[in-house]
Structure 1
Amino acid sequence: MNTPRHPTIRPETPDDADVIEAVTFSAFRGAPHTSHTEQHIVRALREAGALAVSLVAECDGELVGHVAASPVTLSDGTPEWYGLGPVSVLPAWQGRGIGSALVQACLARLRERGARGCELVGEPGYYQRFGFRSLPGLILPDVPPKYFMALCWTNERPQARVAFHSAFAATG
C-alpha cells in the first residue's frame, strides 16, 4: 500500500456513515483503555445533530479515517467549547500521519467557526503535539487530569466542570 503524502480530508457525507462506523470499530477493536463504544458514540452524535465537525480521510479513494467534534457544556456557562473525538484510523493505515492530519483539520474547522477551546480525553504523548495540556480549573469528573486535556484559543481560562454530549453514553 502506498500512502499519499497528504490524505484527502473532507467533510463526511450521508453516504459515509456506514463506512465511518466500520472504520471506527476497527480502529478501536484492539485498543486498550476503551469501552469499545466509539462507533456508537459517533452514530448517536450524528443522530442528535451534534457533530459540529465530522471529517473523513481518504487515501487512494478508500475512507481510512474519521474525526468528530461536538459541543461540550462547561458548568460556568462559557460557550463555544468543543470535545474532540473519537479519532479513528484503520489499523493498517495507522502511524502514517493520517490521524494527525485529521486532528489538525478538525482544530482548524473549530477555530474557523469561532470556538474558544477544545477538550479531549486521550493519551498525552500523542495529543500534546497539537498543544493540548491539562488546564487547571477544567475538570472532567472520573477522568484523571493527565488524560483530560484542552486547548484554549482565548485569554479566558474557564474554571468549570465539563460535560461531554449525552451521546458519549451510547453503548449500542
Structure 2
Amino acid sequence: MTDRREVAIVRRPGQAPSVRDGLAGLLAAYHLRTQAEKGEAVAGVDGLPDRYREEIADPQAVFVDAVVLLALSGDTAVGCLVVSAPVDGRCEIKRLWTDPAHRGRGIASSLVGAALVHAAESGVRGVRLSVWKWRTGAIALYEGLGFTVTESWDEREQLVCMERAV
C-alpha cells in the first residue's frame, strides 16, 4: 500500500507531457468514466469523442500551452491535473483525476493546491473550473479549497462552474 508521504506532485514547466509518463492512461480513465457517468458509456478509447481521443493520443500537442501536474507514486503516475494558460487574468483547472486505487490519500487536494500555487506564481487573479453536478465529492473538495459556485460560462447542462481568487 502506498502511503501519502510517498506521493510527489511534479510540475512540468517547459516539459511537454507525453504518453510515456502515464498521463495518457490517466486521461483515458478520466474520459471513459465521465462518458459512463453521463449515460454514454463506450467500450474503449476509440469510442470517445474526437477531442478526448486527441488528448489521450497526443497530450503534448493538446496541452502545449498548459501546465500539467502529475502525482507520482515512485515512477507511477497516480493522478493528474491540467492548468490552462491564463486568459483575461484567469486560468482554468481541467482533468483532475486520481487513480481509484490511490484515492483517499489527499492526492486530489495536493494537485489542486499545486495548481493554485502555479496560478499565483503566474500572476493571475483567479482560477476557475467546471465540474459535473453529480460529482458531489469533487464539489465538496473544491468548496473546501475556497471555490464558490459562479455563473456558468459553459452551455453544457449539468455543469457546475466554480471560481476562486488567487
TM-score above 0.5:
yes
Contact 1:139 1:145 in 2 (8 A): no
Aligned-partner SS, 2:104: coil
**4+ long deviations beyond 6 Å:** 42-45
Residue 29 of structure 1 is aligned with which of 10, 27, 32? 32
Corresponding residue for 1:69? 83
Q: 2:145 aligns with which of 130, 134, 153?
A: 130
> Which of 8, 19, 22 does residue 17 from structure 1 map onto?
19
Segment drifting more, 39-48 vs 57-66: 39-48
Return the alpha-carbon distance in structure 2 between the equivalents of residues 105 and 60 of structure 1.
18
Count of residues paired in the alignment: 145
Match of 2:43 in 1: none
Deviation at 1:145, TM superposition (A): 8.5
Instruction: Report if aligned partners of 2:149, 2:161 keep a CA contact under 8 Å in 1.
Output: yes
Greater fraction helix: 2
Residues 4 and 106 of structure 2 are in contact (CA less than 8 Å); yes or no, is this contact kept in structure 1? no
Q: What does 1:56-135 align with in structure 2 at a 5 Å threshold?
A: 56-71=70-85, 73=87, 79-122=88-131, 123=135, 124-135=139-150
Over 3 Å counting, the alpha-carbon distance change for 1:146 and 1:90 in structure 2 is: closer
TM-score by length of 2: 0.71
**Equivalent residue letter for 1:132:** F
TM-score by length of 1: 0.69
What is the CA RMSD across the aligned residues, in angstroms?
A: 2.9
2: distance between equivalents of 1:144 and 1:59?
36
| Unmatched 5+ stretches in structure 2 | 41-47
